[in-house]
Structure 1
């Protein structure tokens, strides 16, 4: 189970015991928000994109969609999401539990500025019924964020 790799990953910071596990599914933004009891925007969703022959992860606020123009301006190529099978292959996490922690491969991680409006956010932890509460500074550190980017849309007016 991928949550095991995330628990192991967080041990080096003593954060493995902070992982929340739910009896209900948290596989979507809405289900995660219900399980945790927060607004959906505070769910830090991880999206997997093709990056040449490899993959990359972008973590955004739960109410944010990818702006294709901003993505292309930032990275120089068109946004193309990985299939569920590719996502599992590159990250070691199945869709519904994808996160930037305990990854199967060394994949670049980018955090979208839509997250910065919150004191804390809740990314998944490798399974469809897990999350962890992190500040944006902690998320930056633990995800090994390459840089903060602006590729989101739909959240600015909220």
Structure 2
């Protein structure tokens, strides 16, 4: 299971015990916010895209939405999300548990600026009922992101 891959990944940093597993689903921003008893914006959702033959993950705040114009400016293409059946084979995680940790070789990870307004955020950990609380510098370090990007818009 992907959560075991993520636990093993975090064990090299001594952080596997920080992973929280819930008796309820945390597969969506709303469900994760309920499980964690926090505002949905602090859920660090991981969006998955295909850019030509590249697999790109963008970690964004739970209340952020991809801005198509910004995305196209950054990646030179219209945003095309991975299909549900492509996630596990290409990324290593299934729907509801997609995260930037323990992903398959060659997957590119970017962090969206929408996350920077929080001290800590909660990304998933490879399953539809898990999360970990990380500071923004920790998220940057452990996600092995290539860069901070600005491709999302926040609600008004």
Shorter-chain TM-score above 0.5? yes
Once residues 73 and 60 of structure 1 are traced to their aligned partners in structure 2, the CA distance between those partners, rounded to angstroms, is 17
Tell me the CA shift for residue 69 of structure 1. Answer: 0.3
SS state of the match for residue 5, structure 1? helix
Once residues 55 and 78 of structure 1 are traced to their aligned partners in structure 2, the CA distance between those partners, rounded to angstroms, is 14
Tell me the CA shift for residue 85 of structure 1. Answer: 1.0
Once residues 29 and 42 of structure 1 are traced to their aligned partners in structure 2, the CA distance between those partners, rounded to angstroms, is 9
Q: 1:123-142 to 2 correspondence within 5 Å?
A: 123-142=123-142
Q: Is the 8 A contact 1:90 1:105 kept in 2?
A: no
Other-structure match for 1:115? 115
Other-structure match for 1:30? 30
Other-structure match for 2:71? 71
Tell me the CA shift for residue 128 of structure 1. Answer: 0.2
Other-structure match for 1:97? 97
Other-structure match for 1:147? 147
Tell me the CA shift for residue 106 of structure 1. Answer: 2.5
Once residues 146 and 27 of structure 1 are traced to their aligned partners in structure 2, the CA distance between those partners, rounded to angstroms, is 25
SS state of the match for residue 41, structure 2? helix
Tell me the number of residue pairs that the alignment of Structure 1 and Structure 2 aligns: 156
Tell me the CA shift for residue 28 of structure 1. Answer: 0.3
Other-structure match for 2:88? 88
RMSD: 0.8
SS state of the match for residue 50, structure 1? strand
Once residues 75 and 129 of structure 1 are traced to their aligned partners in structure 2, the CA distance between those partners, rounded to angstroms, is 31
Tell me the CA shift for residue 114 of structure 1. Answer: 0.3
SS state of the match for residue 48, structure 2? strand
TM-score by length of 2: 0.97
Q: Is the 8 A contact 2:110 2:145 kept in 1?
A: yes
Other-structure match for 1:17? 17
SS state of the match for residue 34, structure 1? helix
After TM superposition, what 4+ stretches of structure 1 lie above 6 angstroms from structure 2?
none
Unpaired segments of 5 or more residues in structure 1?
none
